[in-house]
Structure 1
Amino acid sequence: MPQTRRQYLASAGATTAALGLSGCLSSFEGDDREDLTLAYVPIYPNMQHFVMEDAGYYNEIPIEVTIERFNSGPAVVQAFASDEVDAAIFGITPSMVLVDQGKDASVLAANSQNGFKIVGTTQLASLYDEHGGDAFVQFEDETGRQPQIGAPPDGSVPDVVLRFWIEERLGFDELLGPIRKSQLPPARVPQAIESGELDGAIIQEPFATIITETDGFEALAWSGEIMTDHPVTVLFVHDRVTDGESAVARALVEQHARATELANNQPDVAAEHAASVIGDGVDVTLAREAIESAASDFISDPTVIADQSDQMAEYVASLGNTDEVVGADRLINRTVYENVVE
């Protein structure tokens, strides 16, 4: 179940240019509400949310913003589908599912790209270094079993990247040809891999850093070299927020871009915000190390992710998660971001 976050800091000492948002409390076309509910999943690719919440950037939105924290993308999909939330910061593939289901919503900003590492035991990593894609066959010859690889559910962003790696880069006919897949939430992966339950996993930060800094484990590959510039998470917003050139939508994107700039230019500060919001054992030191990872690549411009969104959409449809291919033209609203940066 989601947990409502605390009320935002009054201003947190933030300084920002005047946004010209007078009279914006009626920005929802045909909707007299004066609040917006935003859902998020506490994963590292959602860095902009951690900054926006902890630094008080949401206070710059001209209506009250209520934050709901969820533990998984599917839970956000359910809440969005039932109109419990107006916006979400979560994976791009769940966004595709909602649009395919007929939800009138779109991506206003990208959050991150290239956001995963494939990690594994030293045994598996050494075999991969020596044999490439044949490492899985070699592993089975040595152990009498296929390697067990952890990943989120079918059709999630890391699942799509893992499939692309196995099928397109390594040349196998299907994901489950050379490996066995275990569906685990990211927070469970470090413990599972250390206990021997898994031989490897596709995982985001800060968990990739935790695993690769543990004796006996290494990185095999980075997703940015597997599917270059692939999207991870996005700012997904209901059309009732964006209709009528909404100043609320514009303010959301402005503050999102502001948070991206801070994350990229002031990593020490961003790490403090991330640790504060994520909690769950993620301290400032770990958060700061994770920002240095190649898998921490924060952006706002949704146009950057358009081409790879189309490629991901093909995979999501082929898995049966969507009835139709929900490509970038159907998924992404470029107008708000373009108006903000012009």
Structure 2
Amino acid sequence: MDLGRPKSPRERASNATRRRYLRLAGGSGIAGLAGCTALSRSGPDEITVGYKPMFPFLQALLLDERGEFDRLSVDVETENFGESGLTIMQSFGRGDLDVAFVGITPAIVMQDRGLPGKVVAANNVEGFVFVGRDSFAERWADHEGPVAFDAFEEERGRPVEFATPPESSVAYVLLHHWLETMVGQPPADVDVTAMSGAGPVRQALVSGEADATCIMEPIRTILTRADAPISRLAWAGEFMSGQPGGVTVMHDRLRNDHPDLAAEFLELHEEATAFATENPDEAAEHVSNAIGSGTLPPEAAREALNSEAANFVTDPREIVDDTPLFCDGMADLERTEARIDAEDVFDFGPYDRL
């Protein structure tokens, strides 16, 4: 799917100039309330925020689209990685980002690699839905569990084919957990094909190359509105309260050296979370604009925001209990050299300062 158009250097420079002008002109907002004038003199002149315009990173999307980063006491340069050849992890590892909006599994890998950052906020919870093409969904409706898989294989002469994003993704780990623990279907007895991203997964499902998948919004809404032959199998919230998805990782140089600025950033994050919940119509307009109205019209964005899988939070403690499952998953997949302790992934200090 189209993940939005990255801002050009000219646009980023223009945004930074506007933010600087607003502060010099005496704009108050959060900076004035938090007493950050002194902080801006002693702290950094600018921070850089990286994200993709996707639902797990909705807070960054809304803050950027609405110009809310202008309210911080420092300039903010945003990097939209929607069509970038460089990954957010690579950029963070090079020291180019102060804040990165990523999935919980990349955040675990970052910890394993010793990158200087911690998760300081959650972005969303229970954000995945399991869907299947009608050929499998009908078997599932008749016989939930392993019987449905056996019935499909007997009828088609092959196992059920699942398509997912890459093995390092949240969806890939969650799918294996659902199959093995919740369904009782050994993952080895189905075919799971890891693809390069959400777009290829969607195409595989539409074309019939895959029978089922684990997807997030707004992809499910887009498929449903296009009358794709899919049906819901299950939702992550039915078996995992607080299933982590997108998170906010903050560089140590910001967390440790400028705690007031770190807390100021999370205050904006929390306000964006509230805005998405309390103003869904306006939020839908911004989401549509960021992702592309041709891919996601405002009415489709509004429908997606009303989905059971659209749950936005800020408090990092809401995802702590289920993060160990993903730490185990990344170790089992050999995406980390050792099992990462979930406690080492988080820093609650910036959020607690609120």
Q: Name the structure 1 match of 2:38.
A: 23
Are residue 127 (structure 1) and residue 150 (structure 2) matched?
Answer: no
1:133-185 CA-to-partner distances (Å, cap 9, x unmatched) read 22222111111122221111113111111010011112234x23223324241
Q: Name the structure 2 match of 1:147.
A: 160
Please show how residues 94-243 of structure 1 align to structure 2 within 5 Å: 94-134=106-146, 135-173=148-186, 175-213=187-225, 214-243=227-256
- Label 1:249 to 1:293 Cα distance change in 2 as closer, same or farther (>3 A): same
8 Å CA contact 1:115, 1:297 repeated in 2:
yes
Are residue 85 (structure 1) and residue 97 (structure 2) matched?
Answer: yes
- Label 1:169 to 1:139 Cα distance change in 2 as closer, same or farther (>3 A): same
The 3-state SS of whatever aligns with 1:220 is strand
**Separation of aligned partners in 2, 1:155 and 1:162:** 12
The 3-state SS of whatever aligns with 1:321 is coil
The 3-state SS of whatever aligns with 1:62 is coil
- Superposition RMSD in Å: 2.3
8 Å CA contact 1:118, 1:222 repeated in 2:
yes
TM-score, with normalisation over the residues of structure 2?
0.87
Letter in 2 for 1:21: C
1:7-41 CA-to-partner distances (Å, cap 9, x unmatched) read 44767x9966823211223565xxxx521111112
- Label 1:215 to 1:278 Cα distance change in 2 as closer, same or farther (>3 A): closer
% identical aligned pairs: 32
Q: Which runs of 5+ in 1 are unaligned?
A: none
**Separation of aligned partners in 2, 1:48 and 1:70:** 15
Instruction: Report the alpha carbon displacement of residue 132 of structure 1 after superposing the two structures with TM.
Output: 1.5
**Separation of aligned partners in 2, 1:260 and 1:74:** 27
8 Å CA contact 1:128, 1:220 repeated in 2:
yes
Q: Name the structure 2 match of 1:290.
A: 304
**Separation of aligned partners in 2, 1:167 and 1:74:** 34
Q: Name the structure 1 match of 2:64.
A: 53
Letter in 1 for 2:47: L
**Separation of aligned partners in 1, 2:33 and 2:127:** 33
Are residue 38 (structure 1) and residue 52 (structure 2) matched?
Answer: no
8 Å CA contact 1:73, 1:91 repeated in 2:
no
Q: Which runs of 5+ in 2 are unaligned?
A: none
Letter in 1 for 2:325: Q
Instruction: Report the alpha carbon displacement of residue 302 of structure 1 after superposing the two structures with TM.
Output: 0.3
8 Å CA contact 1:35, 1:64 repeated in 2:
yes
Letter in 1 for 2:234: A
1:53-85 CA-to-partner distances (Å, cap 9, x unmatched) read 111111122211111122489821122112222
- Label 1:98 to 1:27 Cα distance change in 2 as closer, same or farther (>3 A): farther
1:245-294 CA-to-partner distances (Å, cap 9, x unmatched) read 52221111000000000011111111111112222612211110000101
TM-score, with normalisation over the residues of structure 1?
0.90
**Separation of aligned partners in 2, 1:158 and 1:285:** 26
The 3-state SS of whatever aligns with 1:176 is helix
**Separation of aligned partners in 2, 1:96 and 1:278:** 27
Are residue 318 (structure 1) and residue 332 (structure 2) matched?
Answer: yes
- Label 1:15 to 1:271 Cα distance change in 2 as closer, same or farther (>3 A): farther
